[in-house]
Amino acid sequence: MKQAETVLEARNLSMHFGGVRAVDGVDFTLSENELRCLIGPNGAGKSTFFKCLTGQLRPTAGEVLIRDVNVTGREPHEIGALGVGIKTQVPNVFEGLTTEENIWISARRWHRPARARTLTAETVERLRLGDVRSDPVGQLAHGQRQWVELGMVVAAEPWLVLLDEPAAGMTHEETVRTAELIQEINSTATLIVVEHDMQFIRMISRKVTLFHEGGILMEDTMEAISADARARQIYLGHRA
């Protein structure tokens, strides 16, 4: 088996809120070109862990390294400037701006005006947002807003993509399309996807990290996790 380069690493990462240990001493590594899913029941700490990676939260202890650069406690824009594309759990879009303007803001961060314009047009096509390109994003349906946000992530042409619940609240067709998109993104970038939707994870996953009570319980394929008694009890058991 060839040894892929580690692109993201968390060392003994902890995030405590008062007495609550949301994330407690997590060690985590991600290799280049991987597509990793983070799962776990509500309150397992996966979103908090995600926010520590993206700079939205400053961890209580431990460190985060992206391509061997220590980014612990850096501002979100500094992490973005490393070429990391981030989609948050609660959709963060520019409500009053149109679909095109939203995506242009992202493309223009990295490119000259002419390239930014073509990249915006390409991204709108790629996400099938052509019909709503001139509509304010605040007026779009929930699934489309999620795609606008994905479009902003994609238009920045990141090499590392962190997605928090990209398929939340989507219809089945939208979820399938999002899964396709994620596979597509994975052809050029390494991904971490935090998800709740088991069906969706089965569509995209190779390796899954299961969070439980602020720590990593196990790391394996979805099949292996589904078969594991402990995992079934704490998480999948809810579905039985």
Partner 1 sequence: MRLPRDLRGTLVIAALGSGFMLVAPEVLAFFTIITLSQVIGLAILALSLALVWGFGGILCFGQTAFFGLGAYAYAVAATNIGGSTGAIPIAILVAAAFAAVLGYFIFYGRVSDVYLAIITLTVALILYSLTRRTSGPEYKIGNALLGGFNGTTAPPLNIPGDPQAVLFPEHTFYVAMIALIAAYVFCSWLVRTHFGRVCIAIRENETRAELLAYDIRLYKLGIFMIGAALAGLGGVFFSVGVSRVTPDVFSLSQAAVAIIWVIVGGRGTLIGPVLATFALHYLTASLGTQSILNTNLVLGIVLIIFVLLVPKGVVPTLADLVELRRQRRIARLRERWLRARRPHTGR
**Least distance to partner 1, CB of residue 151, Å:** 12
Query: Which residue stretch of 16-24, 97-105, 192-200, 201-209 sits at the interface with partner 1 (rule: CB under 8 A)?
Result: 97-105
Contact criterion met (CB below 8 Å) for 216 and 60: no
The answer to whether the beta carbons of residues 141 and 128 sit under 8 Å apart is: no
What is the chain's length?
Answer: 240
In the set 96, 171, 227, 233, which binds partner 1 (CB under 8 A)? 96
Does residue 56 belong to the site contacting partner 1 (CB under 8 A)?
Answer: yes
Quick check: 94 binds partner 1 (CB under 8 A)? yes
Residue among 13, 22, 127, 156 that touches partner 1 (CB under 8 A): 156
For tokens 């196990």, what's the residue?
A: 218
Q: How far apart are CA 51 and CA 55, in angstroms?
A: 6
How, if at all, do strands 207-212 and 61-66 pair? unpaired
Query: Per rule CB under 8 A, is residue 73 in the interface with partner 1?
Result: no
92 binds partner 1 (CB under 8 A): yes
Which residues lie closer than 8 Å to 154 by C-beta, 6 or more apart? 85, 123, 126, 127, 181, 185
Contacting partner 1 (CB under 8 A), which of 15, 64, 66, 86? 86
Residues of this chain that interact with partner 1 (CB under 8 A) are: 54, 56, 75-78, 80-81, 86, 88, 92-97, 101, 104-106, 108-109, 113, 149, 152, 156
